Amino acid sequence: SQYYPREKFEIIIVDDGSTDQTTSIAKKAGVDSIIITEPCFQGKARNIGVQNAKADLLGFIDSDCEAIDGWVETIVKELETLQAITGSIESGNPQSKIAWAEYFVEFSFFNEYRKRFVSKIGLPGCNLACTKNAFEKAEGFSEERLSEDVRFSQCLSRAGIDHYFVPELQVKHLCRTKWKQVSTNMKTLGKYFVRNRRIN
């Protein structure tokens, strides 16, 4: 969906044991690299992707998100002067009240109406970009079972790297539409929050 010239960026998929035809769909879509690995936590999968990336600019998105047109171009433009950015996250399931509930709890801080600012609460992994240099200074993502994106943001801050909210960097997040799924995810995030606090 991106209008940025396709030959100027690479798409890397890290598949850690999916059962939903991720690999075959990705091949048909024309991704550059598909890396199959044993089941692992998200931080490790992200690190594996970076190890295989050729470019000096990195953009991260999750399997339940859709990059809105202009995502790649915004990364390239903004990382000319900045080292780490996030952007707006929109609800990808606007027809579902349950999805809206999850969106407001988890992502409303990153809505598309906010103006540019230095983010103090972190970079959500579903819409995150940074230079490879910043990634290395933060020592990559934690590979433990915790909120790897929150931890990564904290490590960036400790390395003296500001991260910015850029409203033009937009994704749609396919929030959950069943209450049990939302509840389970909230419990998991709560555990990870505690683990992050203990590490800090």
Report pLDDT for 138: 96
Report pLDDT for 141: 96
Burial class (CB in 10 A: 0-12, 13-18, 19+), 61: middle
Q: Rounded to an integer, what distance in angstroms lies between the CA atom of residue 175 and that of residue 173?
A: 6
Report pLDDT for 16: 92
Helix axis angle for 148-158 and 42-51, nearest 10°, is 60
Encode the chain (200 residues) as per-residue pLDDT tens digits: 799 999 999 999 999 989 998 899 999 999 999 999 999 999 999 999 999 999 999 999 998 999 999 999 999 999 999 999 999 999 999 999 999 999 999 999 999 899 999 987 789 999 999 999 999 999 999 998 889 999 999 999 999 999 999 999 999 999 999 999 999 999 999 999 888 888 87
Contact assessment for residue 187 and residue 140, using Cβ atoms and an 8 Å cutoff: no
Report pLDDT for 133: 97
Report pLDDT for 96: 97
Contacts of 32 (CB under 8 A, 6+ apart): 10, 11, 12
Report pLDDT for 155: 94
> How many CB atoms within 10 Å of residue 184?
12
Q: Rounded to an integer, what distance in angstroms lies between the CA atom of residue 107 and that of residue 163?
A: 17
